[in-house]
Chain A
Amino acid sequence: SQTIHQWPATLVQPVGSPLSLECTVEGTSNPNLYWYRQAAGRGLQLLFYSVGIGQISSEVPQNLSASRPQDRQFILSSKKLLLSDSGFYLCAWSQGSSGANVLTFGAGSRLTVL
């Protein structure tokens, strides 16, 4: 069966520090991968998605970036965090355009920027 791992689960970072959140999927190949952010107001904002290695679509121009160094690994990064980067970051995967393409989410990473 497929599983998605996301870490760290919680982190507190000072403004201006770098960020790296990692997400890996097991039990499948060539998944679509996604990063969403959920701020305190509850809504989900799509940050990046990737349909394959080297293919990353950015939805929100800001100080975040994403990379997909391996087929089942998705990394969210920042060189310098802002206060507004605080939130709940969710990685998700789906099997692609065929079938129902249901997104399965990781457990999330809660980031607090001070």
Chain B
Amino acid sequence: ELKVEQNPLFLSMQEGKNYTIYCNYSTTSDRLYWYRQDPGKSLESLFVLLSNGAVKQEGRLMASLDTKARLSTLHITAAVHDLSATYFCARRGQGGSEKLVFGKGTKLTVNP
């Protein structure tokens, strides 16, 4: 059974600092996804990583995928308050399954 684990689950950081959120998964598969959720809102897609070594960047966020280590990271550079949200990673199920399994999310708070 595919398991997706994120850490940390809670992250409080100051504006201007850098930090990394980690996403580990238990079985090999393709396609790793990152989503953002603002309080009380739905989920918004940030990145999809399709293969080993894939790196995607958007503004102050950069996501990478290491399939050998079964690890994806979401790096935050020079955080700003607007990045405060909950970030989820998700992985497709085994055997070409169409279902996505989500981590528990990392609640990020960026303090001025």
User: Interface on A for B, CB 8 Å cutoff?
Assistant: 32, 34, 36, 41-44, 46, 49, 51, 57, 59, 90, 92, 94, 96-97, 100-108
Tell me whether A34 and B42 are in contact (CB under 8 A). no
User: Interface on B for A, CB 8 Å cutoff?
Assistant: 31, 33, 41-45, 48, 50, 86, 88, 90, 92, 96, 98-105, 107
A-B pairs with the 8 shortest C-beta distances? A44-B102, A43-B104, A100-B48, A105-B42, A105-B43, A108-B42, A42-B105, A32-B98
For A34, what are the chain B residues with a Cβ–Cβ distance below 8 Å? 99-100
**Total contacts A-B at CB 8 Å:** 56
Minimum CB distance partner of A104 in chain B: B45
Check A90/B43 contact, CB under 8 A, given A97-B96, A101-B98: yes
| Nearest-Cβ distance from residue B88 to partner chain A, whole angstroms | 7
Tell me whether A59 and B99 are in contact (CB under 8 A). yes
For B31, what are the chain A residues with a Cβ–Cβ distance below 8 Å? 100-101
| Nearest-Cβ distance from residue B55 to partner chain A, whole angstroms | 15
